Amino acid sequence: MQEIKSIQGLGSFLAQTYGSQPQETCRLIAVNSQLQILEISTVALGTVNQVQIHPRDIFRRLVSLNAYGFIIAHNHPSGQLKASRADWQAIYQLALCSSIMQIVFLDFIIINRSHFCSHCTLKRWPKITLETLLGLWTTMAKL
């Protein structure tokens, strides 16, 4: 896949290509401003039921690629497409970091063997505002 033409096409490609992995894996899809894929890379490898996703690993690669934006693809070997508490924490952390770094966080897609769940498409997306960032900044300044 060279260019993202639709979430449906990307989700189907990801499910077919990576959905049957026996352990949880986090993949980074880095794109340019024309939504052409610069790279698909594995940024975290976990166990059968969890994977640690660290923003530093994501953004280190994005900056080195001079990426405009990114999508995270994460498989659930259990077949469940529902985001876990750890998934929501990762989504929120990545949304905050992407606002600060000004690298567009386009989607967080959970995949299994044959299906996918796009959190952006389902409108399950954190709203990051200037107030959110300022609140984070002022809270840290008090520490």
Instruction: Look at residues 52, 10, 8, 56 and name the one whose alpha carbon lies nearest to residue 31.
Output: 10
Residue 51 lies in a domain: yes
Domain that holds residue 117: 7-142
- Tokens of residue 14, six digits: 């990801």
Residue 1 lies in a domain: no
Contact 74, 110 (CB under 8 A): yes
Backbone angles phi, psi at 127, to 5 degrees: -90, 115
Residues ≥6 apart with Cβ < 8 Å to 42: 25, 26, 27, 28
Q: How many angstroms separate the CA atoms of 140 and 122, rounded? A: 32
Residue 81 lies in a domain: yes
Residue 91 lies in a domain: yes
Give the tens place of pLDDT for each residue, 84-124: 999 999 998 999 999 889 999 999 999 999 999 999 888 77
pTM given for the model:
0.86
The total number of structural domains that make up the chain:
1
Spell 80-107 as b/e; 16+ CB within 10 A means b: eeebeeebeebbeebbbbbbeeebebbb
Give the tens place of pLDDT for each residue, 28-83: 999 999 999 999 999 999 888 889 999 999 999 999 999 999 999 999 999 999 99
Residue 66 lies in a domain: yes
**Whole-number pLDDT of residue 143:** 47
Residue 57 lies in a domain: yes
Whichever domain contains 113, its CATH number is 3.40.140.10
